[in-house]
Structure 1
Amino acid sequence: MDNKLEQLFYIALGGALSVKEKLENNSEEVKKWQSEAEANARAFLDELSQRGAQEKDQVKDLLREQIKEVINELGLVTRVDLEELKKDLKTK
């Protein structure tokens, strides 16, 4: 009877150690996966930020061109036109 209890104890101990090792291995894998996921997320956010900055500049340039076209279509006077007119008036 003692032999069976001893065997049962060793089986339980072996099982517990096996579970412990698997948990430790899985824990390391989860930590590694988490680190990789974090690095990927940061790279993705950096890329989005750069694309956003590029798009901002493109939209700004496009808007500037559209405003210039509207000014030309309406025949509005620009700052450059006013400065030239002032120079002409001063010279006369």
Structure 2
Amino acid sequence: MSNYLKKGFLLGLGAAVSGKEKLEQKLKELVDKNELTQDEAKSMMDNFIEKGDTKKQEWSSKQKKQTQKIAKEMGIATTEELEDLRRRIHTLELKLADKDVIEE
């Protein structure tokens, strides 16, 4: 992962943790003042966490696509391409081994 992506991820993670802690504190205050029920506060927190997970998945998907794009531009083979080459080499080795057995 590039240094910029890593720093951006850590910055976002820090903001999310800070935001979650502040939200928990605010919800607790509202429950203590009887402006919110415990169930409502829990529902709001669950909603916050769910949205965070969705954003995390979106970010991971975008990061993966960007990494693949950079790798392609640099001419770096993908795992799938390497596996395909391994299979092709293995098939050729088997054919050569069979040919050697027939010729002997």
TM-score by length of 1: 0.54
Within-5 A mapping of 1:31-50: 34=34, 36-50=36-50
Q: What is the CA–CA distance in structure 1 between the aligned matches of 2:39 and 2:86, rounded to whole Å?
A: 59
Point out where structure 2 has 5 or more consecutive residues left out of the alignment: 1-32, 93-104
Q: Secondary structure at the match of 1:34?
A: coil
Within-5 A mapping of 1:53-64: 53-64=53-64
Kindly state the Cα deviation for residue 91 of structure 1 after the two structures are TM-superposed.
3.2
* 1:89 matched residue in structure 2: 89
Point out where structure 1 has 5 or more consecutive residues left out of the alignment: 1-32
TM-score by length of 2: 0.49
Code of the aligned partner of 1:82: L
Larger Rg: 1
- The number of aligned residues is 60
Q: What is the CA–CA distance in structure 2 between the aligned matches of 1:44 and 1:81, rounded to whole Å?
A: 45
RMSD across aligned positions (CA):
2.0
Higher relative contact order (CA 8 A, sep 6+): 2
